[in-house]
Amino acid sequence: MDLLTSLKISSSGLTANKKRMQAISSNIANAQVTRTAEGGPYKPKEVVFGSEPARESFAEILEGELGEKAQAVHAVEVAPSNKPPVLKYEPNHPDANAEGYVAYPNINVMEEMANMIEASRAYEANINAMNTAKSMAMKDLEIGRGN
């Protein structure tokens, strides 16, 4: 794998994890929102990751193969969660239904924080991979100069 391919793969990981961090931040910020413009409580967001071959040139695309079969990651979609809302008995709340229950988003803030740490570490790992590739390229240039 060449330098540009490794940088492309790492940058795709950075972009995907950035989207994941944005979705997690939105979930945490809206954990208590009971009324949205669409109606009902906030629906948590989930990021779906996918992979695609890391191809550099048109010839590689035509051949359909890459020597190392390297895969770049991308966020396929940011989808609303299908978790049902959590009902809490609060008869004096303005959004309470006829029985006195309020629908809150089904968001576990502790779980979201753990997901945020995981996404942050994955982001850091991709930065480290990029820095290592850059360092190796710089060493190659030093060797090429004869120093």
Position 59 scores a pLDDT of: 61
Task: Report how far residue 15's alpha carbon sits from residue 13's, in angstroms, rounded to the nearest whole number.
Answer: 5
Average pLDDT (83-87) is 95
The angle that helices 109-145 and 3-29 make with each other, rounded to 10 degrees, is: 160
Q: What is the pTM of this model?
A: 0.80
How many distinct structural domains can be found in the chain?
1
Domain that holds residue 75: 3-145
Residue corresponding to tokens 């991308």 = 74
Nearest Cα residue to 111 out of 83, 137, 91, 89: 83
Share above pLDDT 70 across residues of the chain, in percent, rounded to a whole number = 87
Phi, psi of 47 (to 5 degrees): -95, 130
